[in-house]
Structure 1
Amino acid sequence: MAANYAIIETGGKQYRVQPGKSISVEKIEGETGSTVELDRVLLVSEDDKLSVGTPTVEGAKVVAEVTEQGRAKKIIILKYKSKTRYSVKTGHRQWLTKLAIKEIVTGGARPAAARKKASSGA
């Protein structure tokens, strides 16, 4: 039996999520302990059935809980031009939100194979 998982998009990046796991994503507004619904679901795998969105799976969403709001490790940016005595050193810390995935709601999404057969038969 295959594990249930989904591919979601948030903050311009894609993440593979499973219930019970946690991920760090670009900052999402919400207090620690609040619930967030992510509706940009690109793919859902459930009991060996695969639903692929065009571009998203209709009715599917991922319910997650905000466990932490924080910042990533500092990255150092160096700019340097030789022979001109020019150098600049700056740092950046990105705001992140840590999410605990509670459940994947499919909303009656049909598998990609069934959708393809239904459209080709018409």
Structure 2
Amino acid sequence: MYAIIKTGGKQYKVQAGDVLQIEKVEQELGSEFKISDILMIGGEKAHVGTPLVKNATVTAVVTKQARTKKVIVFKKKRRQGYRKFATHKQDFTEIFVKAITSPDGQTSKSDETPVVKDMAKLREERIQQKVADHKARVSVRSADVEAAPASKKPAKKAATKKKATKKAAAKKAPSKRSVKTAAKKATKKTAKKTK
């Protein structure tokens, strides 16, 4: 037996035991609720609603309340200097269809049990795990720094001094460009003095 339900302005085809994401419903996590907006029930005997099927219900359990992945919203009009950037996360409710009841009284139940996921608790556990891993890495690094012997490097310092003197000598030689600019400045000064 299957049913076509309407919730959040959308229609879904469901069977007992299905897990689906619908628009956010104000229900607590793990709570059981009934959906009465049923457009059709199919199976051995079909019931078509006008617009809804009377005395038919779908029993569902809330397994997750979360938000979808981030979507980028980017608007642009070329050659107009118009650009807008935004992001969006849509709230959703994940439900487990426990049973479908037709107006005749026939019921289709699921043998499975719903798996309820508390996303806030999972997020906190992930953050605590990251903090613990970070503390462990920091303690290992500090132990390595304390255990490392202090080494002296006088030979490398002498070598760097030699390189520095060579570079200083190379910098002292004027380039062609600096000679030209110096000559121009000198001619400008002499021209001002003669006036």
Using the size of structure 1 for normalisation, the TM-score is 0.82
State the match for 1:65 in structure 2: 61
Spell out structure 1 runs of 4+ moving beyond 2 A: none
State the match for 2:45 in structure 1: 49
- Equivalenced residue count is 105
Whole-angstrom CA distance in 2 between matches of 1:44 and 1:97:
23
RMSD after superposition: 1.2
> Gapped runs of 5+ residues in structure 1?
110-122
State the match for 1:102 in structure 2: 98
Q: Which has the higher contact order (CA 8 A, sep 6+)?
A: 1
2:13 equivalent among 11, 16, 20: 16
Whole-angstrom CA distance in 2 between matches of 1:96 and 1:55:
26
| 1:56-114 CA-partner distances (Å, limit 9, x unpaired) | 100001000000000112221111011122101111111000000000111327xxxxx
State the match for 1:79 in structure 2: 75
| 1:33-68 CA-partner distances (Å, limit 9, x unpaired) | 10111110000013x211100001000010000000
Sequence identity percentage: 42
* In the alignment, structure 1 residue 35 sits paired with structure 2 residue 37: no
Give the structure with the larger strand fraction.
Answer: 1
Give the structure with the larger helix fraction.
Answer: 2
> 3-state DSSP class of the match of 2:46?
strand
Q: Which has the larger radius of gyration?
A: 2
